[in-house]
Structure 1
Amino acid sequence: MSPGLAAVRRDPWVRALLAAGGVLVLWFLLGLGSDAAQVRLFWSLLPVTDLLLWHASRRVTRMDLPADTRRFWRAVSRTSLLFVLGDASQTVVAWVRPGAAAAVPNALQAGAILVGVAYMVWIMLTHPGRLLTRAARLRFWLDAASVLVGVAVLAWLLLLPAQTGRPVGALVAQLLGTAIILVAGFAAVKLILSGNAPLTVAAAAPMLAAGVLQGAAGSLVSPGPAHLDVLLGAQFLSSVLLVLGPRLQEVCGPPVPAAQRRSKPYSLLPYTTLAGMFAGLPFVLSDGVGADTWILLGGLFVATVLAVSRQLLAFAENAVLVREIKGQEQRMSSLLAHSTDITSLVGVDGTLTYVSPATERLLGKEPALVLGTPVVAHIHPDDLGIFLPAMAQLRSAPDATVTYQVRYAHADGSWRWLDVVSRNLLHVPGVRAYVSNARDATQARLLQDELRHQATHDGLTGLANRALFDARLAAADSPGAVLLVDLDDFKLVNDTYGHHAGDAVLVAVAERLAAATPSPGLAARLGGDEFAVLLPDADGQAAAGTAARFLALMEAPVRVDGRLLPIRASVGFAEGPPGDPDGLLRRADAEMYRLKRMTRVS
């Protein structure tokens, strides 16, 4: 059960109205009491229901409503006061001249009802709708006219008497009933087609039913003693339903603002009206061709002309829309055809359902050959750790957006870095996909990688520099070892053969140190002729093995400008737990100088 329906069932007003109204309607329908007693009771109760209508409408106007909606409910409260005036006059007549004849409205009551009905028609005519364009307003009036023509014809055939000589009071009652039905029909059209109804469907339903019931009772049922019970019961029920409308409006809350309502692209009301009149044609023709037949045929002709005009208007609007859509498609195709970015659609199953022509320019692949393939098949395996979490985040919510950079395969076997922005539009009916825009970032990425490499590596030897070595050593989270390397008598090389020879020696030493360093060790040049090696998860034995391999490689002289230069190096190492990088370096440095001194002594 919805919260609104539950609130309606718990509301004491609604319970009281339905309970009291049901008892009194049964009283009238069962014909309990004399005709005079029934008429007096009916007309004594009717002004009370009118006052309840005024009170309920006033309560609605105190809600937080838009100005146009509040104007409608104020009009309902003012109209109810006119009903009070008219019905009170008829109450006096019922007590002065009781009997079935008192059920026929007097002139004051008829005038009050007509003024009230005319006032409500004016309010509904001037109530603003969500019809902003001239074409939308024209569609509304064509549909409304078609419906009202059908209602008028059916009211004539069903409600107005075919015979003459009926009492004037009965004719007045029937004319009033017909007018009320027409107003109810117009209100229904306004409610359905305008797009800005001043009341909810829950409130409108009993009020429209009240109008139809009131009109039908006043027109179909004779006010004579034979049908007095039906007339009074039906009219009192309509009064109760009329009061129920504003109360339901208050309980269910204000109507949804016009800006938030979903408008229907079409209306079946005109065609429903035509179907109703065509359905009545066999019954009219069964009594032969008469005035009723020509009235029905005339109504069918007018309603058909209105419906055809409405359809022609729709065709014209559709033609304009088709031209606009084709123009938009051409503009979009032109933009995509000349765009340097790749636009793609990926279905919920992860396959590509659309790629723009830029795919061939950036990746060397024809779009037709890419469609239907999994998007992951085009991404570098090492970048799936970036792509798959991004897709998981994208699937987490509608309209979710992610940005990532991954490598896509080129047709020539190389890889291209792409900056990708993806959005989840699976919930959009016309899309139903993940929409991505990708831009070539290969040159920018290569430049970025080069700058990053230059910032963390020695420009001469290509080894890691002091900054990267210190950062890796400080970030170590497990025991390891450090080697410190210092070239012996390197200054003599520079002084004797020049700095270019010294640079060649440094490059050769760096190559041998890198060759001796096992993975995942890091060889670095700390500055000048000082080098270092970081050995994660290594002990003293592993460090000693690395030092031995390096020193073995250093036994071969370095060729510089045709000369073979013998180069010697001192290596010190230390092992220890993480968390004390400075202490580890100091111990390795001390060990290196100890070995250097021992070499000089020997």
Structure 2
Amino acid sequence: MRTQLRRDPALIALAAASVLLVACLLTGTGGVRLFWSALPGYDLLIWIFSRRVAALPGLPADARRFWRRSAQAAVLFVAGDLSQTAVAWLHPGPAAAVPNSFQAAAILAGSCWLIWVMLTHPTHLPSTAVKVRFWLDAGAVLIGAGVLIWLLLLPHTGIGGAPVALLLGTVIIAFTGFSAVKLVLSGNAPLNVLAAAPMLAAAVIQGGVGALVTADGTHQRLLLAAQILPAALLALGPRLQEHSARLDPVRAVRPARRPYSLLPYTTLVGLFAALPVVLRDGLGPDVWLLLSGLAATTALVVVRQLLAFRENAALLSELGTQREHFRSLLAHSTDITSIVDVTGALTYVTPATERLLGKSPAAVLGTTVMSHIHPDDLPVFATAMDTLRAAPNASVSYQVRYAHADGSWRWLDVVSRNLLHLPSVGGYVSNARDATQARLLQDELRRQATHDGLTGLANRALFDARLAAAASHQIAAVLLVDLDDFKMVNDTHGHHAGDAVLVGVAERLAASVPVGGTAARIGGDEFAVLLPGSDVRDADAVARRFLDLLDVPVLVDGHQLRVRASVGVVDGDPKAAEALLQRADARMYATKRETQMAQMSSSS
């Protein structure tokens, strides 16, 4: 935006013309005629710039209304100053510096119109109490400012000085007071600080300088040059507002409100500071005026302060109630609420820590949160923390195991949020809920869906899934196992004995499979083993270990039951899973036939 302002041709032309006019007036070139000829041009710029602001898209309706009314006031200023321009050209001389009656009336009407627009501009105050505080502050400021303004002007003009100029100066500075109150106190000013600053400064300068203008021509060059400055500043304000509103129409007219204002207290300090100065000349009308203004302003400030005390007491009481309510909720909550700082240390935990983990808050505070998490779950926790650190207010959910005081582990569902940017928090806030039973049930359901209910080995679905996952290897070995004469065990000893035999076989098979392999029960008395990355030699070693273990009888109801099995061993490309299983199945039946042929030969 600063670059836009430096390149704005209108602002460049306004600044250059103002500098040139001031130089001419200081050197006496043009005099009163030049001054009054230039002044309507500044009024016309106010009209143009105000209408441009009012026409901006997206501008709030109340701000648009203000700038339209400002343009209307500028029309009155143009008319009044043009009348004085005619007087200056028809009757040049020092007397032409003093406003004529029509010009004074036009300027007064325009100023009063702006004051009315400011008074009726919506404040958007949220409640009656806030409105009362606003008007108390406004009254204190306006009374105090009015007294100080009068005292400022009175020594230079006297009661019989230039009453028209004094009246105009007072009215202009009164408008400044209203504008300042609206800008600082209401929170809904129709212009931002950037635009208001030059306009308020212009009003103050115009009010002070205008009261010094007299018909005797004293310091005429300096006074006329000084009055060009407020004219230029008044035209500058709407142009700056236009630039701000083009970037953000709403924020340009509605900046964030401050929760309090120092303006009434500043005014009161100014009145007290003026008291010793006024008392130097003894008791007089100015002293009584100052004392009256001081009393009225003090009364308004005191009333405002008493209201503030009462509101603060009510707020403190409500805050205490809410704090007690909040503490009660945390004390009896079943969830753990904690805060972890940037180093990973716990800086706050709720009493639920003792109920869920058997640890008192005092024993947990100061320790690192990682020291309470199961080692296998630390990668999950690290990933969650990386997500939290990515941005302020980031949130993440995860589930990890926390150590209980009795040595067991508890699954906790955790929701964490990054609130490091909040000074009142300064850490990662987490809410943790016990999910142990739900997790155990979930794990059990998952196990039941993927494992054989009798033997505990992987079922056919899990075996097929592991075989499909083995496609990432170039080779895999498969063993298919079929028990021989298992039907005889069921027929002779009963199904319970058959189940015991299946369990015993499963135990021996699982003990034979190395880490990374999968042992599964894929049918009634059929088993399978998957060895990703292994060849037939590795599979033969597994088969031998299994058959060696199977030589040990299975003890059932005091009976030692011997079990024999046929094993088919193959290796190949795991991507061709179906073909690999068919080959293993064919090899298993070939082995079974060879065993049967050997038995028949030995018996004959």
The TM-score with structure 1 as length reference comes to: 0.95
Question: Aligned letter for 2:193?
Answer: V
Question: Aligned letter for 1:248?
Answer: L
CA distance in 2, matches of 1:93, 1:252: 39
Question: Aligned letter for 1:53?
Answer: I
Between 1:414-423 and 1:333-342, the stretch displaced more is 333-342
Asked if 1:566 corresponds to 2:562, the answer is yes
CA deviations over 1:57-79 (Å, ceiling 9, x no partner): 11111112111001111111111
**What value does the CA root-mean-square deviation take over the aligned residues?**
1.8
Deviation at 1:162, TM superposition (A): 6.7
Give the match for residue 521 of structure 1.
517
Question: Aligned letter for 1:101?
Answer: A
Task: Name the SS for the 2:307 alignment partner.
Answer: helix
Give the match for residue 202 of structure 2.
210
2:224 to 229, 232, 236: 232
CA distance in 1, matches of 2:466, 2:216: 106
CA distance in 1, matches of 2:159, 2:581: 123
Task: Name the SS for the 1:327 alignment partner.
Answer: helix
CA distance in 2, matches of 1:439, 1:364: 14
CA distance in 1, matches of 2:502, 2:511: 14
Give the match for residue 333 of structure 2.
339
Asked if 1:312 corresponds to 2:310, the answer is no
Deviation at 1:299, TM superposition (A): 2.5
1:499 to 468, 486, 495: 495
Confirm or deny: 8 A CA contact 2:517 2:529 kept in the other structure.
yes
Asked if 1:247 corresponds to 2:247, the answer is no
Give the match for residue 482 of structure 1.
478
Equivalences for residues 111-150 of structure 1 within 5 A: 111-150=105-144
CA distance in 1, matches of 2:8, 2:449: 75
Equivalences for residues 61-76 of structure 1 within 5 A: 61-64=54-57, 65-76=59-70
Deviation at 1:256, TM superposition (A): 3.7
CA deviations over 1:135-182 (Å, ceiling 9, x no partner): 211222222222222221221222124775745xx2210121111112
Distance 1:135 1:429, change over 3 A: farther
CA deviations over 1:438-464 (Å, ceiling 9, x no partner): 111111111111111111111111111
Asked if 1:195 corresponds to 2:191, the answer is no
Deviation at 1:271, TM superposition (A): 1.9
Question: Aligned letter for 2:108?
Answer: L
Asked if 1:39 corresponds to 2:36, the answer is no
CA distance in 2, matches of 1:163, 1:109: 20
State the identity as a percent.
64
CA distance in 1, matches of 2:27, 2:332: 82
Task: Name the SS for the 2:522 alignment partner.
Answer: strand
CA deviations over 1:187-225 (Å, ceiling 9, x no partner): 112111110110122211111111111111111344421
1:91 to 85, 90, 96: 85
Task: Name the SS for the 1:159 alignment partner.
Answer: helix
Confirm or deny: 8 A CA contact 2:483 2:564 kept in the other structure.
yes
Between 1:564-573 and 1:246-255, the stretch displaced more is 246-255
Give the match for residue 586 of structure 1.
582
Equivalences for residues 133-532 of structure 1 within 5 A: 133-161=127-155, 164=158, 166-167=160-161, 170-253=162-245, 256-257=250-251, 261-476=255-470, 477-478=472-473, 479-532=475-528
Confirm or deny: 8 A CA contact 1:196 1:258 kept in the other structure.
no
Task: Name the SS for the 2:425 alignment partner.
Answer: coil
CA deviations over 1:8-29 (Å, ceiling 9, x no partner): 1100000001100111012112
Distance 1:19 1:298, change over 3 A: same
Deviation at 1:344, TM superposition (A): 1.6
1:596 to 588, 592, 595: 592
Task: Name the SS for the 2:281 alignment partner.
Answer: coil
CA distance in 2, matches of 1:48, 1:202: 23
Distance 1:164 1:481, change over 3 A: closer
Question: Aligned letter for 1:30?
Answer: T
CA deviations over 1:322-360 (Å, ceiling 9, x no partner): 111111112212222222211222222222222122111
Confirm or deny: 8 A CA contact 1:195 1:258 kept in the other structure.
no
Between 1:220-229 and 1:244-253, the stretch displaced more is 220-229
Task: Name the SS for the 1:349 alignment partner.
Answer: coil
Give the match for residue 51 of structure 1.
44
Confirm or deny: 8 A CA contact 2:188 2:254 kept in the other structure.
no
Asked if 1:538 corresponds to 2:534, the answer is yes
Between 1:509-518 and 1:292-301, the stretch displaced more is 292-301
CA distance in 2, matches of 1:374, 1:564: 56
CA distance in 2, matches of 1:60, 1:78: 13
Give the match for residue 601 of structure 2.
none
Confirm or deny: 8 A CA contact 2:187 2:254 kept in the other structure.
no
Distance 1:185 1:259, change over 3 A: closer
Question: Aligned letter for 2:5?
Answer: V
Asked if 1:576 corresponds to 2:572, the answer is yes
Task: Name the SS for the 1:118 alignment partner.
Answer: helix
Confirm or deny: 8 A CA contact 1:457 1:463 kept in the other structure.
yes
Distance 1:238 1:404, change over 3 A: same
Give the match for residue 14 of structure 2.
17
Between 1:176-185 and 1:143-152, the stretch displaced more is 143-152
Question: Aligned letter for 1:501?
Answer: A
The TM-score with structure 2 as length reference comes to: 0.94
Question: Aligned letter for 2:231?
Answer: S
CA deviations over 1:216-239 (Å, ceiling 9, x no partner): 111134442122112211222211
Deviation at 1:508, TM superposition (A): 1.0
**Which stretches in structure 2 are left out of the alignment for 5+ residues?**
599-604
What is the number of equivalent residue pairs in this alignment?
593
Between 1:280-289 and 1:81-90, the stretch displaced more is 280-289
Distance 1:303 1:38, change over 3 A: same
Question: Aligned letter for 1:49?
Answer: Y
